[in-house]
Structure 1
Amino acid sequence: MLDLLVYLDELLIKNLNSVVVNGYIDIRTFRRIKDRTVGGNVRVGERNSKELDFKDQRDKIEGYKSKHNSCEESQQDGKERSLGFEGRDFDRVEQEIKKISTVFTLHNDLINRMYSNNHMKKISYKSIKNGNVKVGDYVEVTGCIQEVSLPEYIDTVLNSINCYGIDFFNSILDKNKLDSLNFNIIYNLLSGIKNSITQNGSRDLIVKNQDVSILLTINQNNFINNGYSMFDFVQCSCKIYGKVMMIKEDKDKCISLLRKSSQENYYEKILNSIEPYLDILRKNNIILPEKPECNIKGKMIMILPMSICI
């Protein structure tokens, strides 16, 4: 069965590709040049010459004088012709071929190379339970996407407050004489928590392999189609390629979904303190979501995913 690639971390693929595979762009250039020249020069010269020399000399004695007549004629005729010719045959062919690898090609080459070099291994529920997985391993693992998400829970509560109005919710609180918080404060607190745990578009995606939780730190911008959401594939089986960052097993708390805030205990107390106010709304027939667990319990593996396929 062919896998459909839905998530790809391009920067991780390129960075790892530079170590495992050679380069990204292959350029080949081919040139052929032919220059054939034929040249020549012809010179033809012709010259005619004619001379005439005539002398007439007479001596007459007239007293003591003599008279001489002389006639000389010279004629020269010349002709010169020059002829040149040149022939050139010039043929120049240049061809450049560029082969550019797309990130999808890099991903495929990278996975194949890592398997062939034993840098990546396919793991199963059994290998996880037997402890055959270590931190730092590059792995291929499958699981079922879960719908647990703190940001989505907070979004739903904020949307409900916007829909009914803060003043309306505050009026319900006034009847119950609760003075510590009001929904102006609650709205701002929830908005601050959401911004803190979703900075730069990162989210936590939980995948289950039987009773093992696989925590993926993903970025919404890395989905192949920008129209996808990570919850489009809830309850779907998926295949993950990535690096194991953490392995834990704890019945009470393996890892917190509020850890990105760096104040996980504080924000967990804030969420718990808000729950009584939301319970009052529920008792007044206001439908609100149930708060999800802030902590992952049991056996947990945290993976930084390079790609996700379904």
Structure 2
Amino acid sequence: MPAELFTPIYLNQDEIQNLSSILIDGYFESITIKQISDNTVTGRYQHNNKSQFSNDYKNTKGDKDDNTVIGNSCYNYGDIFRYLEGRNFDRNDVTLKRIYASFSIYNTLRDKMNSLGIIKYINDSNLSINNIYSGDYVDLTGCLQVNTISNCIDNCIFILSNYGTSHLDNLFDTKHIGPLTYTMICELLKTIQKELNKGATFDIIINCLGVNCVLPINSTYTSKHSYIYDDASCDCCILGKVSKVAYTPSESIGMLRKTGLDPYYTKLLNSFIPYFHFLNNNGFLIPGEFITSINGPALEIIPLSICM
């Protein structure tokens, strides 16, 4: 299938946006179109008319004379005022707003990384990881597998809870194995699982032509409408950044590294195995092994995308 037709089941949007800012434009274009129209007409008409008429009569008598004054006056005033104003105003504000789909940004970024030659491919013609180093970006196709340690712990907690740890403690005397009880073991398993689930991340494993790849997945970026292990045993295309390389079988990638006490918790889980073997021998079936590390050749990869 052409790479352009792959559908993402996981996109690390933060990493994709950060890389896009560095390798592409560093910004996202935005356009909004806004049109404003304003029409104003103002009119005013004023007419003033004023008339005044007066008639005065005055008679003054004194010792020696008699004075009479008669006066008439007329006053007219007219005022006409006219005013008219028209105003038309149009304005266009243009802001471009273009929203990109996450997968569109990812495809643009992938094309840019290919053009710059910064992606290393692991395939049939280039299977060796001897030229792969921490910090490299790799592209590979492999089979999605269940994380054995996390799922094994989940199942052990579920099975012990259903058997009833108190019932098992009363039924079997395990002092010949060690000081632990099944109630204690179940609580310890819950504590380990909480450590592994911190940060809303979990590991998945991809097997690529004999090379095991451990991918820490952030559940924030997985599809909210599906479970990633719905596609277990299916082939996936992965693009990601290498964080650790185990070149030989003497090197490994720890599956308990999130605890910060990988050797301690490995030893603790191994101490549970004799108790589980005892249950299996007495008809109470339960997983009896914990795979706490992935031996080389192996890669730990921070995935940008997982596509199918």
For Structure 1 versus Structure 2, the TM-score category normalised by the shorter chain is: 0.7 to 0.9
8 Å Cα contact 1:213-1:300 kept in structure 2: yes
Deviation at 1:4, TM superposition (A): 1.2
The answer to whether structure 1 residue 6 and structure 2 residue 9 are counterparts is yes
Deviation at 1:24, TM superposition (A): 4.0
Change (3 A) 1:259 1:130: closer
Q: 1:144 is matched with which residue?
A: 143
The answer to whether structure 1 residue 15 and structure 2 residue 18 are counterparts is yes
Per-residue CA distance 1:84-123 (angstroms, 9 max, x = gap): 3222333344454422334333222211221122222433
Q: Which amino acid aligns with 2:216?
A: T
CA distance in 1, matches of 2:286, 2:73: 132
Q: 2:272 is matched with which residue?
A: 274
CA distance in 1, matches of 2:46, 2:211: 100
Q: Once the two structures are aligned, what percentage of the paired residues are identical?
A: 30
Deviation at 1:212, TM superposition (A): 1.1
Deviation at 1:157, TM superposition (A): 0.8
1:254 alignment partner, one of 252, 255, 259: 252
Aligned-partner SS, 2:283: coil
Q: 2:56 is matched with which residue?
A: none
Aligned-partner SS, 2:173: helix
| Farther off after superposition, 263-272 or 247-256 | 247-256
| Farther off after superposition, 13-22 or 251-260 | 251-260
8 Å Cα contact 1:173-1:277 kept in structure 2: no
Deviation at 1:75, TM superposition (A): 5.9
Q: Which amino acid aligns with 1:308?
A: I
Aligned-partner SS, 2:110: helix
- Alignment map for 1:9-158 (pairs within 5 Å): 9-28=12-31, 79-129=78-128, 131-158=130-157
| Farther off after superposition, 201-210 or 35-44 | 35-44
Aligned-partner SS, 1:251: coil
| Farther off after superposition, 289-298 or 141-150 | 289-298
CA distance in 2, matches of 1:87, 1:141: 71
Q: 1:236 is matched with which residue?
A: 234
Aligned-partner SS, 2:265: helix
CA distance in 2, matches of 1:197, 1:79: 98
Change (3 A) 1:70 1:218: closer
Aligned-partner SS, 2:81: strand
| Farther off after superposition, 202-211 or 102-111 | 102-111
CA distance in 2, matches of 1:178, 1:195: 26
Deviation at 1:267, TM superposition (A): 1.4
Q: 1:64 is matched with which residue?
A: none
Q: Which amino acid aligns with 1:129?
A: S
| Bigger Cα Rg | 1
Q: Which amino acid aligns with 2:195?
A: S
Give the paired residue count: 293
Higher strand share: 1
Q: 1:197 is matched with which residue?
A: 196
TM-score normalized by structure 2?
A: 0.80
CA distance in 2, matches of 1:21, 1:307: 18
Per-residue CA distance 1:160-191 (angstroms, 9 max, x = gap): 11111112211343177545211122112212
The answer to whether structure 1 residue 304 and structure 2 residue 307 are counterparts is no
CA RMSD of aligned residues (A): 3.4
Change (3 A) 1:37 1:125: same
TM-score normalized by structure 1?
A: 0.80
Change (3 A) 1:134 1:126: farther
Deviation at 1:156, TM superposition (A): 0.7
CA distance in 2, matches of 1:138, 1:182: 47
CA distance in 2, matches of 1:106, 1:278: 49
8 Å Cα contact 1:24-1:101 kept in structure 2: no
2:289 alignment partner, one of 266, 288, 291: 291
Q: Which amino acid aligns with 1:127?
A: N
Deviation at 1:81, TM superposition (A): 2.8
CA distance in 2, matches of 1:221, 1:36: 52
Change (3 A) 1:285 1:85: same
CA distance in 2, matches of 1:184, 1:36: 82
Change (3 A) 1:20 1:73: same
Q: Which amino acid aligns with 2:17?
A: K
Change (3 A) 1:309 1:42: closer
Change (3 A) 1:170 1:94: same
Aligned-partner SS, 1:287: coil
Q: Which amino acid aligns with 2:110?
A: I
Q: Which runs of no fewer than 5 residues in structure 2 stay unpaired?
A: 50-67
Deviation at 1:80, TM superposition (A): 4.0
